[in-house]
Structure 1
Amino acid sequence: MKRSIATGILAALAAGAGLISGVMLVSGGKVPKETASRAVASAGTVAAQGKRKILYWWDPMVGPSSISPKPGISAMGMKLVPVYASQGRQSPGEVTISPAIAQDLAVETSPVRFGPLVKTVRTVGYFRQATPVSYAVSMRVSGWVGTLYATTRGTAIRKGDPLFTLYSPQLLAAEEELLASAQNSTLAARTHDPHSVAEARRLYQSIRRRLIFLGVSAAQLDHIVAQHKAREYLTFLSPVSGYLDRVSVRQKSFIKSGQTVMRIEQLSTVWLDAKVYDNQLPWVRLGEVIQARIAADPGRTFEGRIFFIDPNEDPRTHTVTVRARLGNPVGLLRPGMYALVNIASTPFKDILLAPASAIIHTGTGEVALVAKGKGRFVPRNVTTGLTGNNNKVQVLSGLKAGEEVVTSGQFLIDVESNMNELTAKFTARGRSPKPAAPDVKGAMPGMKMPPAAHQPTKAATPARSDLPSQPKSRD
Structure 2
Amino acid sequence: MENKKIILIVLATLIIGAGLGWLIKPTEDKTNEISENHSLESLDHQEIWTCSMHPQIRQSEPGACPICGMELIPLKKEDLGADPDSYQMSENAMKLANITSEIVGMGNASKELRLNGKIQVDERNAYSQSTHIPGRVESLSINFTGEKVSRGQTLAMVYSPELVTAQEELLQAASIKESQPELFEAAKEKLKNWKIGNTQIDRILANGKAIQRFPIGADVNGIVTEKMVELGDYVERGMPIYEISDLSKVWVLFDLYESELAWVKEGSKISYTVNSLPGETFEGTISFIDPIINSQTRVASARVEVNNKDGRLKPEMFVSGIIKNDNTDNDTQELVIPKSAVLWTGKRSVVYIKETVDGRSSFKLREIVLGPGLGDSYVVEEGLNSGEEIVTNGTFTVDAAVQLSGRPSMMSPREKETQKTNKFISVTLSEKEKQQFEPILSDYLEFKDALVADDFSSAKKLVIILDKRVKMLKTSELKEESAKIWGTFQKELIKSTQSMISSNDLQEMRNNFDELSETTIGMVNSFKLTSKELFVLHCPMANSNKGAFWLSESSDVKNPYYGSAMLTCGEVKSTLK
Please tell me the TM-score bracket, short chain as reference.
0.5 to 0.7
Q: Secondary structure at the match of 1:108?
A: strand
Q: State the AA in 2 paired with 1:246.
A: K
Unaligned runs of 5+ in 1: 1-23, 73-78, 175-206, 426-443, 449-475
Q: Which residue of 1 aligns with 2:244?
A: 264
Displacement of 1:446 after TM fit? 5.9
Q: 1:242 aligns with which of 211, 215, 223?
A: 223
Match of 2:338 in 1: 355
Which residue among 89, 95, 101 is the counterpart of 1:108? 101
Which SS does the other structure have where 2:124 is aligned? helix
The amino acid of 2:314's aligned partner reads R
**Hey, what does 1:188 align to over in structure 2?**
none
Q: What does 1:293-308 correspond to in 2, within 5 Å?
A: 293-302=273-282, 303=284, 305=286, 306-308=288-290
Query: 2:370–2:381: 8 Å Cα contact kept in structure 1?
Result: yes
Alpha-carbon distance, 1:127 to partner:
4.2
Answer yes or no: is the 8 Å Cα contact 2:134–2:234 preserved in 1. no
Which residue is equivalent to 1:41? 33
The answer to whether structure 1 residue 120 and structure 2 residue 120 are counterparts is no
Of structures 1 and 2, the one with the larger relative CO (CA 8 A, separation 6+) is: 1
User: Please, what is the CA RMSD of the aligned residues?
Assistant: 5.7
Task: Tell whether 2:316 aligns with 1:324.
Answer: no
The answer to whether structure 1 residue 388 and structure 2 residue 374 are counterparts is: yes
Offset, 1:297 = 1.9
Would the aligned equivalents of 1:117 and 1:392 in 2 still touch at CA under 8 Å?
Answer: no
**Is the helix fraction higher in 1 or 2?**
2
1:298 match: secondary structure: coil
**Rg larger for:** 1
Residues in 1 aligned to 2:353 and 2:456: alpha-carbon distance in whole angstroms? 53
**Aligned residue runs from structure 1 range 3-402, under 5 A:** 28-31=20-23, 40-50=32-42, 56-57=48-49, 70=61, 92-94=84-86, 107-123=100-116, 125-138=117-130, 148-159=140-151, 161-164=153-156, 214=195, 236-248=217-229, 256=237, 258-272=238-252, 274-275=254-255, 283=263, 285=265, 288-289=268-269, 292-302=272-282, 303=284, 305=286, 306-308=288-290, 310-314=292-296, 319-327=298-306, 328-349=308-329, 350=332, 351-361=334-344, 365-371=348-354, 378-389=364-375, 391-402=376-387
- Read off the aligned partner of 2:374 and give its amino acid letter: G
Give the CA deviation at 1:381. 1.2
For residues 395 and 95 of structure 1, the distance between their equivalents in structure 2, rounded to whole angstroms, comes to: 24
Which residue of structure 2 lines up, in the alignment, with residue 7 of structure 1? none
- Offset of residue 393 of structure 1: 0.9
Amino acid at match of 2:106: R
Residue deviations 1:146-178 (CA, integer Å, cap 9, x gap): 86422333322244544346897899999xxxx
Q: State the alpha-carbon separation in 2 of the partners of residues 155 and 260 from structure 1.
A: 17
3-state DSSP class of the match of 2:36?
Answer: helix
Moved more, 137-146 or 236-245: 137-146
CA distance in 2 between counterparts of 1:25 and 1:117 reads: 82
Q: Which runs of 5+ in 2 are unaligned?
A: 1-15, 64-72, 171-187, 414-452, 458-577
State the 1:399 CA deviation: 1.4
Q: Is the 8 A contact 1:119 1:283 kept in 2?
A: no
Task: Report the Cα distance in structure 1 between the residues aligned to 2:289 and 2:386, rounded to whole angstroms.
Answer: 37
3-state SS of 1:297 partner: coil
Shift of 1:397: 1.4
Query: 1:93, CA displacement in angstroms?
Result: 2.0
Q: Does the 8 A contact of 2:253 with 2:304 survive in 1?
A: no
Letter in 1 for 2:373: T
CA contact (8 A) 2:114 2:323 kept: yes
Aligned partners of 2:27 and 2:347: how far apart in 1?
Answer: 58
CA distance 1:244–1:30, change in 2 (3 Å):
same
- Normalised to the residue count of structure 1, the TM-score between the two structures is 0.53
SS of aligned partner of 2:34: helix
Against the structure 1 CA distance between its residues 295 and 377, is the aligned structure 2 distance closer, same or farther, given a 3 Å change threshold? closer
Residue by residue, what CA displacement relative to the aligned partner does 1:60-99 show, whole Å, maximum 9, x if unpaired? 9x997x9875269xxxxxx957769966xx6552457788
SS at match of 1:28: helix
How does the TM-score come out when normalised to structure 2?
0.45
Equivalent position SS for 1:262:
strand
Deviation at 1:245, TM superposition (A): 1.8
Residues 342 and 350 in structure 2, CA contact (< 8 A), matched pair in contact too: yes
SS of equivalent to 2:293: coil
String of CA shifts for 1:185-241, please: whole Å, max 9, x gaps. Answer: xxxxxxxxxxxxxxxxxxxxxx9xx99x95869xx89xx99xx99997778355222
Tell me the distance in 1 between the aligned counterparts of 2:266 and 2:215.
Answer: 48
Structure-2 change in CA distance of 1:34 and 1:122 (3 Å): farther
% identical aligned pairs: 19
SS at match of 1:299: coil
Amino acid aligned to 2:381: L
Q: Which residue of 2 aligns with 1:202?
A: none
Distance 1:414 1:304, change over 3 A: same
Residues 153, 247 of structure 1: 8 Å contact kept: no
Aligned residues: 350
**Is 2:101–2:389's contact at 8 Å kept on the other side of the alignment?**
no
The one-letter amino acid of 1:394's match is V
Secondary structure of the corresponding residue to residue 38 of structure 2? helix
Task: Report if aligned partners of 2:79, 2:88 keep a CA contact under 8 Å in 1.
Answer: no
1:108 partner amino acid: S
Question: Could you tell me how far 1:100 is from its partner in structure 2?
Answer: 8.8
